[in-house]
């Protein structure tokens, strides 16, 4: 993944929660 995508993913995870992390992966 690109740095920009990783940053967005982190921000989105903080906004939604750990559940979103599992869904994204």
Q: What residue segments make up the domains of the chain, in order of their start?
A: 1-25
Q: How many other CB atoms are there within 10 angstroms of residue 20's CB atom?
A: 14
Instruction: Determine the Cα–Cα distance for residues 8 and 18; give it in Å rounded to an integer.
Output: 14
Burial of 21 (0-12, 13-18, 19+ CB in 10 A): middle
**Using CA atoms, how far apart are residues 24 and 11, in angstroms rounded to an integer?**
13
pLDDT at position 6? 53
pTM tops 0.85, yes or no: no
For position 1, what pLDDT does the model report? 47
Distance, in Å, from the CA atom of 23 to the CA atom of 3, rounded to the nearest integer, reads: 20
Taking the C-alpha atoms of residue 5 and residue 13, their distance in angstroms, rounded to an integer, is: 12
Instruction: List, for residues 1-25, the tens digit of each pLDDT value.
Output: 445 555 555 655 555 656 655 555 4
């Amino acid at each position: 993944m690109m740095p920009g995508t990783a940053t967005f993913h982190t921000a989105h995870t903080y906004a939604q929660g750990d559940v979103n992390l599992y869904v994204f992966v």
